[in-house]
Chain A
């Protein structure tokens, strides 16, 4: 696997605190997590390109939370990230049950607004460190 060890921690968080909750349909307070059967996951994962490539993300997510995953890098200007996140969230509403991501604070700023503007809300938002945010949005 090309994704190095330090980045695996993000997947773990995304998996335990985001994907599982999202697939379960259980809305929770920020920062809590509950285990569920992960085999029902049809997931979308957003990430900033520096963390890896889409196929690496898909492989990693599948190994930790088996299901049907697609991964999408948010790149370009902030405006592009905003429009792309909104488009992907809208698309996921009819096709997926899990919508998670691991991004930087600036990208999270626009992703959060893109999702809420499209009627969405969040199960989970967490600053893993000052430069990294993981989230799980409700579909």
Chain B
């Protein structure tokens, strides 16, 4: 029996032991862990696969770029793959667990320096372990009127990790990669590269100018395994003056109203009257946020309303909407600027929706919302604040299972409506509910669907896997790509973007990481693909022979 929890594919125990010895000589035993207790938190996954498939062999905690360079050298020598995480909060996308068994987790949460915050131009330069909350506390401490755009688990996630995965937030700076500027990357060769203008000696504009000169390369270090990001520039919003932030909620009673909601909001979004990545949230998601306990300690969740194992019937959905006073669709957005601009823009916004929907829309401003916890959660997100209220979703169905299905749509009314109907049909077929939000981008929609299921029920796990697989197939067949996915389905999503893209991804991998030591399997890129023979998915993506372009 091996003395290690797991081994990298193709690496013998003796070779792995030598590698660990070298890592420990570099960093000490405390920063190179192979014991089960230290590895357990990296196996806490929410996707419907067994932990065995994602078991790491070790975890390493570097503190400096030089240490990472030395780690990469050892990794090349012994072919020990490194799965890099910044804070590892990719919940519902695979968390901190490697895509494949036996990889060493390179946990960068110990690199926590906020290297620079420029209040004048509104940007910062951070290390991987810095969280959004750390930045907010820094602004507060130094009395800086700056906002950083956050994803929903804002307090614990990092700008580095979320940007590297091309995550999105809810302020006008919601498209995180778009508002990043300048990276430092350790390549598999051990070389360090600074992108944009970062290579110019004594540069003053590394975080001010995105493009530099020649081919722009930052994109190839996102959703990729071509390098290890060690520094990232992030653009920050100047906070508006007092009275310059006006969040609001509009509730709509019928599911069929989605297309008209999109039709009304997009002209306002394109004109920047509503400048932020606003959200159209369905009743399931909205109700899940209101999880409460009664006096007997019983939680009010899905089970309170429906004991069946199939999806919620429409009648029950209506009961839930009535109980919590939520709309079939709930549109959260904000207007920003001077108080005068806000007042004027609010007239345009409220006028447009009243004209279209009349008394079918219920409009709620901050004043009317009072201390409503869900309005507060959205208000925080749209101003780059800290909230973890989204975790409430995990109480709705229970059992600890969650997968984000995240297709994109062009922001056209009919397209959003079709996606909603198709997703609902597929989810209901497997007994799951449609729990979703549309995050409104510049011209696209991130249609975020939380496939909630019970990980303690093996049958439900299998169904969740097959449901997700069918969602991907159906959406791909309709011409819709997925902007991000979990570690169980990266290969399948990669194939959905066509052979040309896979070919160039693999050419880059061979050129930059010929030993395949950086996060094999990330985004379906792996020079030595393995077929784990997973019991749940015979005949599905992991069960078929894998091809390499």
Q: Which residues of A contact B (CB under 8 A)?
A: 7, 27-30, 48-52, 77-79, 81-83, 104-110, 112-113, 115-117, 120-123, 125, 127, 129-131, 133, 138
Contacts and interface: CB of A to CB of B under 8 A. Distances in A.
Interface of B is mostly: loop
A51 B389 contact: no
B205 interface: no
B398 to A, nearest CB: 3
Contact of B455 (A77, A116, A127): A127
A78 B293 contact: no
B155 interface: yes
A71 B390 CA distance: 26
Most central of B88, B388, B397, B455 by chain A CB within 10 Å: B388
A45 to B, nearest CB: 16
B161 to A, nearest CB: 13
B299 interface: yes
Contacts of B291: 104, 106
Contacts of A116: 41, 88
Chain B, interface size: which category?
Answer: 35 or more
8 contacts: A78-B387, A104-B398, A105-B394, A108-B394, A115-B41, A130-B456, A131-B303, A133-B400
A116 B91 CA distance: 14
Contacts of A129: 398, 456
A79 B389 contact: yes
B460 to A, nearest CB: 9
B61 to A, nearest CB: 9
B488 interface: no
A138 to B, nearest CB: 5
B123 to A, nearest CB: 25
A56 to B, nearest CB: 12
B40 A122 contact: yes
A117 B398 contact: no
B494 to A, nearest CB: 28
A73 B294 CA distance: 16
B397 A130 contact: yes
B240 interface: no
> Which among A108, A129, A131 has the highest number of chain B CB atoms within 10 Å?
A131
Interface in B153-172: 155-156
Nearest to A117: B156
B399 to A, nearest CB: 4
A106 B89 contact: no
Contacts of B88: 116
Given A78-B388, A78-B389, A121-B41, A51 B399 contact: no
Interface of B: 35-38, 40-41, 44, 87-89, 91, 109, 155-156, 291, 293-294, 296-299, 301, 303, 373, 386-395, 397-400, 454-457
A52 B181 CA distance: 50
A127 B454 CA distance: 10
Contacts of B387: 77-79
Nearest to B110: A119
A122 B109 CA distance: 18
Contacts of B155: 79, 82-83
A78 B36 contact: no
B91 A105 contact: no
B37 A121 contact: yes
A43 to B, nearest CB: 18
The 7 closest A-B pairs by CB, nearest first: A50-B297, A130-B398, A27-B37, A78-B388, A130-B399, A50-B293, A105-B394
Contacts of A109: 91, 391, 394
A51 B297 contact: yes
A74 to B, nearest CB: 12
B397 A125 contact: no
A50 B298 contact: yes
A117 B454 CA distance: 26
Contacts of B395: 104-106, 131
Given A50-B297, A79-B155, A121 B394 contact: no
